[in-house]
């Protein structure tokens, strides 16, 4: 497996690496996003039914508690009241009270047990749902074309896959069980309140429409601010990732203050969005508490009158007041859940936007490339990243085993040719053939395993040097790894390290030099033993002596293997079998080094500008 599978060729693309999404927009389709999110729960309907069943039982046993407690209080009050007023045989029946309290304790224990069961099951459901969602995002990222990565900040993509999905996971874990419990609690409490006193229940319910009327505008306004918060968080992550990845460049050019200023600006936007979202959603609880307290006072007054009239027992009025206080709690909880859902839907919409991105053109595989010889043909190739064509009517024929050098000024289209060879981008017109087979008729996997690639920007993962080299061939033996390291001149510096081939590279491989990184990536590509080798400025980061050693090794390794070499330093490609000179997307000259110099054209001017004055004509 060659390196390009993990990190594609960069450069030459639309280059929108810092594009930011518009902040402050409301979710485009709240209901659709919500239904789509619920769709991820469908495979776990059985477990959700079990959660619902456990939540119902837990809540029912909990709801019965105040009524049992009220009966115990009534028993205590009537015994004490009769004894105080001299009623014959009046006494407090502690036996009955004890039985009621033991029954009450049993109800609460059973309720807690079912609550534990529902939390246990829901933890599994939520994590499996998030797992499925993360898997879908990961598979989607594998199918997205290179232009998507060129047009979106890496930090924003990571934010969608981590922060946004974590937000969804937290909501599923906490909110669903809370919502089920809140709904069942409301129904159960309402039933108990009607049983105790329909009159007091009507008084209590008068406040319900008022509560909904009060919180509705806050919910509507908080929705857009939560969406703004999630989008701004993605922008901040993108900026942080970009600045810390390139912190050395930032310091070299003295852009620390500018980077800090940009961070503070984006951070201020996140602060403002978060403050507005949390403030508006935070108003809901105090408003609900105020309305609940007013209702609580009214119930106490009316209930006291009913008790004096013997229309209701004192235990029932105590139970009703308890139910009344509990009744506002699930309503408030539901309102808070509604706020959390706003944030979750905003996060889910960002994830689904990623999942809905246009994928690479679906393959229609009709041929299979096996034992490739390395013949490459460009026939009337047209290509452009946008409407304007960058490459026009390109025709190139490369025989098996030839070394092809591609030179030209920046933006001429050199790296674009590599992107087209690897099918990172699709052609506008024309065909590219390998061994006579149209690359669009073969699978991308077959095509790309034919290539080995060494990029200008090295990529190494956290792990041993041996593992990094073996990334090019998972079946390679230690001896094969050591051999390619010797051939590519990496063995000498590797063995000078304290742990040799077992030296662990850190996350950005900063514990080896840039030239040593390049040697490791070259060894990796060589170990893959591809039919076609691509070197994109492969020696640009090494010193002159190391460059010479690498070039000697590469010259031997490229014998019998088709190779494409992109280089600005023309000293590295003088022995190439074919040199393509590009300018503005067109091959303006092609031939060997000697032939191009003899033409006294663009290549000759470029060559003499690097090495010596142009000889007199």
What is the predicted pLDDT for the residue at 10? 37
3-state secondary structure of 512: coil
What is the predicted pLDDT for the residue at 509? 67
What is the predicted pLDDT for the residue at 1? 38
> 581-601, pLDDT tens digit by residue?
888 778 888 888 889 888 888
Q: How confident is the model at residue 6 (pLDDT cuts 50, 70, 90)?
A: very low
Q: How confident is the model at residue 13 (pLDDT cuts 50, 70, 90)?
A: very low
Average pLDDT, the chain: 79
150, pLDDT greater than 80: no
What is the predicted pLDDT for the residue at 82? 58
What is the predicted pLDDT for the residue at 152? 81
Mean pLDDT along residues 71-80: 73
DSSP string, 131-169: HHHHHHHHHHHHHS-HHHHHHS-HHHHHHIIIIIHHHHH
- Contact partners, residue 415, CB within 8 Å, separation at least 6: 9, 10, 11, 12, 536, 566
532-536 and 504-505: which strand pairing?
unpaired
pTM score, whole prediction:
0.61
Cα–Cα–Cα angle for 339, 342, 343, rounded to 5 degrees: 95
Sign of CA dihedral 474, 554, 490, 3: negative
What is the predicted pLDDT for the residue at 22? 35
What is the predicted pLDDT for the residue at 428? 87
> 183-225, pLDDT tens digit by residue?
888 888 888 888 888 888 888 787 767 777 777 777 777 777 8
136, pLDDT greater than 80: yes
Q: How confident is the model at residue 377 (pLDDT cuts 50, 70, 90)?
A: very high
d(CA 171, CA 163): 12
532, pLDDT greater than 80: yes
What is the predicted pLDDT for the residue at 183? 84
3-state secondary structure of 375: coil
Bridge partners (DSSP) of residue 376 are 398, 434
What is the predicted pLDDT for the residue at 432? 92
Q: What percent of the chain has pLDDT over 70?
A: 86
Strand ranges across the sheet with 429-434: 391-398, 376-383, 429-434, 437-438
Q: Poorest-confidence range of 81-95, 125-139, 450-464?
A: 81-95
> 297-332, pLDDT tens digit by residue?
888 788 878 877 777 887 888 788 888 777 767 877
3-state secondary structure of 263: helix
Q: What is the DSSP letter of 359?
A: P
């Amino acid at each position: 497996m060659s390196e390009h599978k993990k990190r594609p060729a960069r450069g030459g693309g639309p280059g929108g690496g810092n594009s930011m999404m518009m902040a402050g927009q409301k979710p485009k389709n709240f209901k659709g996003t919500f239904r789509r999110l619920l769709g991820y729960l469908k495979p776990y309907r059985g477990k959700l039914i079990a959660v619902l069943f456990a939540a119902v039982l837990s809540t029912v046993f909990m709801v019965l508690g105040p009524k049992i407690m009220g009966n115990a209080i009534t028993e205590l009050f009537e015994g004490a009241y009769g004894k105080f007023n001299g009623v014959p045989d009046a006494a407090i029946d502690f036996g009955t009270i004890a039985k009621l309290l033991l029954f009450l304790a049993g109800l609460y224990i059973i309720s807690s047990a079912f609550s534990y069961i529902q939390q246990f099951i829901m933890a599994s459901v939520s994590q499996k749902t998030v797992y499925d969602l993360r898997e879908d995002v990961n598979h989607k990222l594998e199918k997205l074309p290179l232009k998507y990565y060129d047009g979106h900040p890496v930090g924003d993509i990571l934010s969608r896959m981590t922060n946004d999905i974590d937000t969804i996971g937290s909501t599923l874990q906490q909110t669903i069980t809370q919502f089920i419990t809140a709904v069942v609690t409301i129904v159960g409490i309402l039933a108990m309140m009607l049983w105790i006193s329909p009159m007091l229940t009507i008084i209590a319910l008068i406040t319900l429409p008022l509560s909904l009327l009060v919180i509705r505008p806050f919910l509507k306004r908080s929705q857009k601010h939560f969406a703004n918060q999630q989008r701004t968080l993605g922008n901040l992550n993108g900026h942080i990732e970009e600045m810390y990845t390139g912190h050395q460049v930032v310091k070299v050019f003295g852009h620390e203050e500018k980077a800090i200023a940009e961070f503070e600006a984006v951070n201020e936007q996140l602060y403002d969005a978060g403050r507005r979202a949390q403030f508006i959603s935070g108003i809901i609880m105090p408003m609900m508490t105020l309305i609940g307290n007013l209702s609580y006072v009214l119930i106490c007054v009316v209930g006291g009158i009913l008790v004096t009239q013997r229309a209701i027992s004192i235990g029932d009025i105590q139970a009703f007041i308890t139910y009344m206080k509990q009744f506002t709690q699930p309503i408030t909880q539901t309102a808070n859940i509604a706020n959390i859902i706003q944030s979750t839907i905003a996060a889910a919409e960002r994830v689904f936007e990623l999942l809905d991105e246009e994928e690479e053109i679906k393959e229609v595989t009709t041929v299979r490339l096996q034992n490739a010889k390395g013949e490459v043909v460009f026939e009337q190739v047209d290509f452009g990243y946008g409407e304007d064509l960058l490459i026009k009517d390109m025709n190139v024929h490369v025989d098996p085993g030839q070394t092809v050098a591609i030179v030209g000024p920046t933006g001429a289209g050199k790296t674009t040719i590599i992107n087209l060879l690897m099918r990172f981008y699709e052609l506008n017109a024309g065909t590219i053939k390998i061994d006579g087979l149209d690359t669009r008729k073969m699978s991308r996997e077959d095509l790309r395993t034919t290539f080995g690639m060494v990029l200008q920007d090295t990529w190494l993962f956290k792990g041993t040097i041996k593992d990094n080299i073996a990334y090019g061939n998972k079946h390679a033996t230690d001896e094969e790894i050591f051999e390619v390291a010797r051939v590519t001149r990496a063995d000498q510096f590797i063995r000078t390290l304290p742990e040799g081939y077992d030296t662990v590279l850190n996350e950005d491989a900063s514990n080896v030099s840039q030239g040593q990184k390049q040697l490791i990536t070259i060894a990796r590509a060589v170990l893959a033993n591809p039919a076609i080798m691509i070197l994109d400025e492969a020696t640009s980061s090494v010193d002159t002596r190391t460059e010479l050693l690498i070039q000697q090794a590469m010259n031997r390794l490229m014998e019998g293997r088709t190779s494409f070499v992109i280089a600005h330093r023309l000293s590295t490609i003088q022995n190439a079998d074919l040199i393509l000179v590009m300018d503005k997307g067109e091959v303006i000259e092609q031939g060997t080094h000697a032939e191009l110099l003899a033409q006294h054209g663009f290549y000759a001017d470029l060559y003499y500008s690097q090495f010596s004055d142009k000889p007199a004509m």
